[in-house]
Structure 1
Amino acid sequence: MTGYAADLALAHTLADRADAVSMDRFRALDLRVDAKPDLTPVSDADTAVEREIRAVLAAQRPADGIIGEEFGATAGTGGRRWVVDPIDGTKNYIRGVPIWATLIALLEDDRPVLGLVSAPALGRRWWGATGAGAYAGPDAAAGTPIRVSGVRQLGDASFCYASLDGWEAAGRLPAMLDVLRACWRTRAYGDFYGYMLLAEGALDVMVEPELSLWDIAALVPIVTEAGGTFTDLTGRPAPGDGSSVATNGALHAEILSRLG
């Protein structure tokens, strides 16, 4: 047991409730999809999941703040805030692709100390908290420890990214392409999934040029408790400036040098 055992138990409860809502609407013929002001899609499942999580937190942790992708920030009375992405991978969700997840994080004084990622359409969940290690499995009762890989050479590395568009917009596409050419294998799994494969040791690097807090907060404790390193492109601990460089640790300095 750790100082976050009760919070982890609550995070699993939140995920159970979220999974019930999201799976009920997944591939529903009457799923409603709208465009947000930034033109990204939002489904009725996104908003329903966040409402469900907020209701549970209001009852169980009334002093804690909440930051959610769909309904913004609710102030708390202390230094603890829950960060929620109700459906990370909404574009996958609305097209019937099963790679999407609910992301739940706990911040203490703006530092991610707990993260849980639940991907019910994949039948898999990942979680971790400071000092408690990182785990994966179908649920809390069946989790097993996970660990990043021991790959030490970029030429042997499996490198993951979301897309190339953001790197081009950031003026870093040439550097990104050089890294891709230097690696053994490259794939664009995108969203939460690349980070979780990294934490499990199935790949070695995951990078993105720009993320929101709710995209990244839950991922950080899982990757770092699995033995990885997670910073922004300047080398500051994530969430930093919103960019992300997550590696198995051994490759981190080289990736930062090449991209940052």
Structure 2
Amino acid sequence: MSSDLTFALRLADAADAITHSRFRAADLKVERKPDRSPVTDADTAVEDAIRALLAEERPDDAVAGEERGGQVVAGRTWLLDPIDGTKNFLRGVPAWGTLIALIEDGTPIVGVASAPALGKRWWAARGEGAWAAENGGSPRRLAVSGVRDIADAYLSTTDLGSWVEYHSREKYLTLVDACWETRAFGDFWQHCLVAEGVIDLAAEAIVNPWDVAPLRVLVEEAGGRFSDLTGDPTIHGGSALTSNGHLHETALKLLS
């Protein structure tokens, strides 16, 4: 395991200690950001804790995060989403996680998604495969599914309303009708499920780079494919589609 991935897993440990203690806390503090999305005291505490560790052990690396800002720069940037799925977190729904990615020269090379309330963690690094562990158990290597027919595909998204506002509800429903089964596992979790081979497609009409950077590494190292909805494999496209690779072009055509 590379030193960067080992360190990223340590950062996730620090995040889990904070989020686990604040999940379903009676005194959880919730505020609304200018874009009307919620932020809790746990979000900011996690990002501050990770930034402190990065300043101590990776002082030459840049840092960018959802809550404290920053930009992905040339060279090395750690990109942080302290709690992906904050709406779930503040309502007591266990489907949320901390996302940590290392970007090198514009490409994510390390990714960790840690979901302590689900008892799961996923991680990957370029050339080292994609892995997951449950409740601290032994890691298992991940591989995407082998489904090749869209009519047999299992699809997930985050929120149908986002397709109305940012892409096309009708186009998404065209994809839904073409697939075998659909759910809305939402946010990071659905992309992790693609990497595990549990589902075959996950599509989002609106994302930020910190929402998907580690998931791109995870899915690609599991043998799958990541792109925005135009087919560009970028974390900066404002949308996301992950797949087992076999179904990617078909899904893009149905969403175009």
Report the TM-score range of the alignment, normalised by the length of the smaller protein: over 0.9
Q: Of 175, 178, 185, which residue of structure 2 is paired with 1:179?
A: 175
Aligned residue for 2:155, secondary structure, equals strand
2:189 paired residue number: 193
Q: Of 58, 63, 73, which residue of structure 2 is paired with 1:61?
A: 58
Q: Of 30, 40, 43, which residue of structure 1 is paired with 2:27?
A: 30
How far did 1:169 drift? 1.6
Q: Of 185, 209, 226, which residue of structure 1 is paired with 2:222?
A: 226
Distance 1:140 1:222, change over 3 A: farther
How far did 1:97 drift? 0.7
Q: Of 92, 95, 102, which residue of structure 1 is paired with 2:88?
A: 92
1:144 paired residue number: 140
Aligned residue for 2:217, secondary structure, equals helix
2:152 paired residue number: 156
Q: CA RMSD, aligned part only? A: 1.5
Deviations 1:74-102 (A, max 9, x none): 787x6000000000000000011111000
How far did 1:141 drift? 7.2
Amino acid at match of 2:16: D
How far did 1:241 drift? 1.1
Hey, what's the Cα distance between the residues in 1 that align with 2:72 and 2:150?
Answer: 43
Q: Of 13, 34, 44, which residue of structure 2 is paired with 1:16?
A: 13
2:125 paired residue number: 129
Hey, what's the Cα distance between the residues in 2 that align with 1:73 and 1:130?
Answer: 24
How far did 1:68 drift? 0.5
State how 1:164-175 maps to structure 2 within 5 Å. Answer: 164-175=160-171
Assess if the C-alpha contact under 8 Å between 1:12 and 1:140 holds in 2: no
1:115 paired residue number: 111
Hey, what's the Cα distance between the residues in 2 that align with 1:141 and 1:157?
Answer: 29
Assess if the C-alpha contact under 8 Å between 1:64 and 1:75 holds in 2: no
Instruction: Return the TM-score normalized by structure 2.
Output: 0.97
Structure 2 residue 76 is matched with structure 1 residue 83: no
Structure 2 residue 45 is matched with structure 1 residue 48: yes
Aligned residue for 1:73, secondary structure, equals coil
State how 1:248-259 maps to structure 2 within 5 Å. Answer: 248-259=244-255
Moved over 2 A (4+): 138-142
Assess if the C-alpha contact under 8 Å between 1:101 and 1:192 holds in 2: yes
Q: Of 244, 248, 251, which residue of structure 1 is paired with 2:240?
A: 244
Deviations 1:127-172 (A, max 9, x none): 0011010000037872110100000001100011111112112342
Deviations 1:41-94 (A, max 9, x none): 000000000000000000110000001000001787x60000000000000000
Instruction: Return the TM-score normalized by structure 1.
Output: 0.95
Deviations 1:8-60 (A, max 9, x none): 10011000000001111111100000000111100000000000000000011
- Structure 1: stretches of 5+ with no match in the other structure: none
Amino acid at match of 2:68: F
Assess if the C-alpha contact under 8 Å between 1:231 and 1:240 holds in 2: no
Aligned residue for 1:238, secondary structure, equals coil
